[in-house]
Amino acid sequence: MLKETHNNSLEYEIELTRVEKEIWSSLDVKGLTVIDLGVENSTRKLVELGARVIGVDSDFKRLRGYKDLDVELVNCDVANLPFGRKIADLSVFYFTLHEIDPRKHEDVLSVVYEISSKVMIVEPSPEG
């Protein structure tokens, strides 16, 4: 049983790496203003790709872990974003939309479409 779990974990990691590489290689954000909704590894990757990143998270402790990056960090809830209309080229939910109550998805996405021209949503699939 332990060996099977290890193999499944290893297969998952390999597949995750492949998918992430595919996602990031298809995205051209150099010079764009990108709002990363849910600061995480995606924040570092967006900076690496040359985006001007605004990292938004409701967890102040998580934000503190990204002070080393040249990123504007905003501590707020995604339902109450403190931005004006169309301040960004792209907003990114990278494995974060599922953390929001599904009954609020429509409202949250409406707000996000007000602040950015495009929205990218990357979510895990139950199928793998």
pLDDT tens readout for residues 41-63? 999 999 999 999 999 999 999 99
DSSP the chain: -HHHHHHHHHHHHHHHHHHHHHHHHT---TT-EEEEES-SHHHHHHHHTT-EEEEEES-HHHHHTTTTSS-EEEES-GGG----TT-EEEEEEES-GGGS-GGGHHHHHHHHHHHEEEEEEE---TT-
CATH superfamily to which 28-122 belongs: Vaccinia Virus protein VP39 (3.40.50.150)
Q: Average pLDDT in the 21-45 region?
A: 94
**pLDDT confidence of residue 85:** 94
Is 81 buried (19+), middle (13-18) or exposed (0-12) by CB count in 10 A?
buried
Domain spans in the chain, listed from the N-terminal domain onward = 28-122
User: Average pLDDT, whole number, for the chain?
Assistant: 89
